[in-house]
Amino acid sequence: MAPENSKEELARIMQVYGDLKPPERLLLGAGPSNIDPRVLKALTLPIVEHLDPFFAGVMSETVDLLRYAFKTGNKVTFPISGTGSAGMESAICNIVEEGDEVVVCISGFFGDRISDMVQRYGGKSIEVRAQPGKIIEKEAVEEALANSNAKAVAIVHAETSTGILQPLKEISKITHEYGALLVVDAVTSLGGCELKVDEWGIDICFSASQKCLGCPPGLAPITVSERAMSVIRNRRTRVRSWYFDLSTIEKYWIESNRVYHHTAPILLVYALREGLRLLYEERLENRWMRHIENMRLLVGRIEEIGLKIFTDKNHICPAITAINIPKNVNDENVRRTLREEYNITISGGLGELKGKIWRVGLMGVNSSRKNAILVAEALKNALKKEKYYE
């Protein structure tokens, strides 16, 4: 038996590993966003067993609310236990088999990630690229489809790394004309940007809990059409990932006689249900308009203080705005000033855009007139500190 710690040793341990006291930041970056008090309260509710009848009811209600958020009637709609990248991997691994061709639309960091996943699962990624901050042209997608046997087209709706919102309707039409599936990354757009899964003919759409839905990270909502599920159920080979196999998970989330698959993150599901309930109360169309109005206000204020928007202004994502960092201004200094003097977090650029852009997110509860004005004013003062206006 190991010897017990002395009182002095216990006191030392408690001093080193004291109570957590995280700062209360205003999270106006690329995510996560701040959490509504009602969602936080849901996280404190009593936990039950993952096959408890009470939790089964919570699961069913969460699925119903997700169908509302996605604007879909798809039976296969539920949250994957994992972050947004888990939703992405689930979408890709279920449809890609060895040798399958997939047209991947890339206009930023997360399009590249999809392409990587396609290749890791044995597929051939046919990349259609646009400059960061620009939309994917539908003609380029059609050319890729015409010169391939693509099984699917994958595209990021709201590219978090650049702030571009891709128009999907025409790309969806072209995709289906060539008999391919349309896979959409809606990690940043779900709950904050217009998204109509059924009307737009999206076959697989995945998202994340921590952005416009205003919940903690850890769940990846996904919805799959019957057309896509038919492809998945009739694969030549089994899905390589056991954990992300949708034809297995659906038996736990959707069937009335639920079959155990994994231990769901119960408290996170409570939180997601409450975040979706808030969305339902506000109504989707009102939520979309709120995000548009506050994005426009932010863009106007940003331009007033002498900064330029990085993204094509005709296609700015209402949830995240990318701003050019002026020459001779230090990216990290400005973000440090916002964090230390204003308790505001914004995001820098990813990959090739590191040090070149800032990304300001107005998502979920954080999408407000007050926050749009506040972050622009804080940026202006941080730029003064960097002598930008001299």
Give me the tens of pLDDT residue by residue for the chain, a chain 390 residues long: 445 678 888 888 778 888 889 999 999 999 999 999 999 999 999 999 998 999 999 999 999 999 999 999 999 999 999 999 999 999 999 999 999 999 999 999 999 999 999 999 999 999 999 999 999 999 999 999 999 999 999 999 999 999 999 999 999 999 999 999 999 999 999 999 999 999 999 999 999 999 999 999 999 999 999 999 999 999 999 999 999 999 999 999 987 778 999 999 999 999 999 999 999 999 999 999 999 999 999 999 999 999 999 999 999 999 999 999 999 999 999 999 999 999 999 999 999 999 999 999 999 999 999 999 999 999 999 999 999 988
Q: Measured between alpha carbons, how far is 101 from 80 in angstroms, rounded to an integer? A: 25
For the chain, the average pLDDT equals 96
Q: Which residues of 43-75 are buried (b: 16+ CB within 10 A; e: fewer)?
A: eeeeeeebeeeebeebbeebbebbbebbbbebe
Tell how strand 101-106 and strand 124-129 pair up: parallel
The radius of gyration of the chain's CA atoms, rounded to the nearest angstrom, is 22
User: Please, are residues 169 and 53 in contact by the beta-carbon 8 Å criterion?
Assistant: no
Residue for token digits 């489809």?
Answer: 145
Residue for token digits 């990587």?
Answer: 116
Q: What is the CATH number of domain 37-280?
A: 3.40.640.10
pLDDT at 183: 98
Q: What angle do CA 380, 381, 386 make, to 5 degrees?
A: 95
This prediction's pTM: 0.94
User: Is the peptide bond prior to 32 cis by the omega test (within 30 degrees of 0)?
Assistant: yes
In 3D, which of 196, 221, 169 has the Cα closest to residue 288? 196
How many helices (H) does the chain have, and how many strands (E)? 13, 14
The CATH 3.40.640.10 domain(s) of the chain lie at 37-280
The CATH 3.90.1150.10 domain(s) of the chain lie at 26-33+283-385
Q: Which residues of 137-160 are buried (b: 16+ CB within 10 A; e: fewer)?
A: ebeebbebbeeeebbbbbbbbbbb
User: DSSP readout, 315-381?
Assistant: GB-TTEEEEEPPTT--HHHHHHHHHHHH-EE-EE--GGGTTTEEEEE--GGG-SHHHHHHHHHHHHH
User: DSSP readout, 192-255?
Assistant: TS---TTTTT-SEEE--TTSTT---SSEEEEEE-HHHHHHHHT-SS--S-STT-HHHHHHHHT-
Q: Which CATH number fits domain 26-33+283-385: 3.90.1150.10, 2.20.25.650, 3.40.50.2300, 3.40.50.1010?
A: 3.90.1150.10
pLDDT at 313: 93
User: Please, are residues 190 and 199 in contact by the beta-carbon 8 Å criterion?
Assistant: no
Q: Measured between alpha carbons, how far is 154 from 186 in angstroms, rounded to an integer? A: 11
User: Please, are residues 216 and 43 in contact by the beta-carbon 8 Å criterion?
Assistant: yes
Residues 6+ apart with CB under 8 A from 106: 112, 114, 115, 127, 128, 129, 130, 136
